[in-house]
Amino acid sequence: MDTDRIVGSAKDFAGRAESAVGDIAGDAKTQASGKAREAAGTVQNLYGQAKDAVRDAADTATSYAKDAYDKPAETLRDGSQAIVQKVQDNPLGALLVAGGIGFALALLMSRPARRPPPRWRYYG
């Protein structure tokens, strides 16, 4: 858990308490201050949650990469089995994807038509 989440939750709670005290006392300034502190705490808590989510995603990606590096044969086999399953589930879609890839490769590998060099004609 990130410290921003802890501090944000504490500010949020303190802001709610301050706002409640302002409600009871009828003091608009204390109410506004409490609402502002509550909003700041909520924002800081959300920021901490976002940092945690990014950290977790990075850790997951790192662990997947390490597993793929440590066991390349299993990773290749699992990937090829997944492709075979997708092709069996949707053969027409697989055929269209393969055709699109072939068309794109043909466009990349073909040379553009050669143009004749420009001829300059001088009229003089």
**Segment 54-99, tens digit of pLDDT:** 988 998 889 888 887 888 888 788 888 998 998 899 999 999 999 9
- Residue 122: what are its φ and ψ, rounded to 5°? -105, 130
Residue 18 falls inside a structural domain: yes
pTM score, whole prediction: 0.52
Contact yes or no for 45/16 (Cβ under 8 A): no
- Residues 6 and 65 reside in one and the same domain: yes
- Residues 44 and 78 reside in one and the same domain: no
Residue 120 falls inside a structural domain: no
Domain that holds residue 22: 1-70
Q: What is the pLDDT of residue 6?
A: 87
Q: Which of 50, 37, 35 is nearest to 10 (CA)?
A: 37
Residue 124 falls inside a structural domain: no
* Predicted confidence (pLDDT) per residue in 16-65, tens digit: 898 888 888 888 888 888 889 889 988 988 888 898 889 889 988 898 88
